[in-house]
Amino acid sequence: MRAFAEAIIAIAPVASRKSRNRFFRECDRWTNRLYKRGMISLQQRQELRRQIAAACLVALM
């Protein structure tokens, strides 16, 4: 999942704070849909969100 999160960040438009917040909202909706459909567990959803946020922070530094 970590490589997947890094790939998402590589193509994400996160140049400004507004676009970064929009990106996080879209990711939350996406992971929530996967969780509600039973494709991932709650722990996997939380881990994926954590990895996406961490990859985004690394990309900004």
- Give me the DSSP letters along 10-29: HH---SSHHHHHHHHHHHHH
pLDDT at 58 over 80: no
Identify the band that residue 41 occupies on the pLDDT scale cut at 50, 70 and 90.
very high
pLDDT (tens digit per residue) in 4-40:
666 666 666 666 777 777 888 888 898 899 899 999 9
Q: What are the domain boundaries of the chain? A: 2-60
2-20 residues labelled b (16+ CB within 10 A) or e (exposed): eeebbebbeebebeeeeeb
Identify the band that residue 43 occupies on the pLDDT scale cut at 50, 70 and 90.
very high
Q: What is the mean pLDDT of the chain?
A: 79
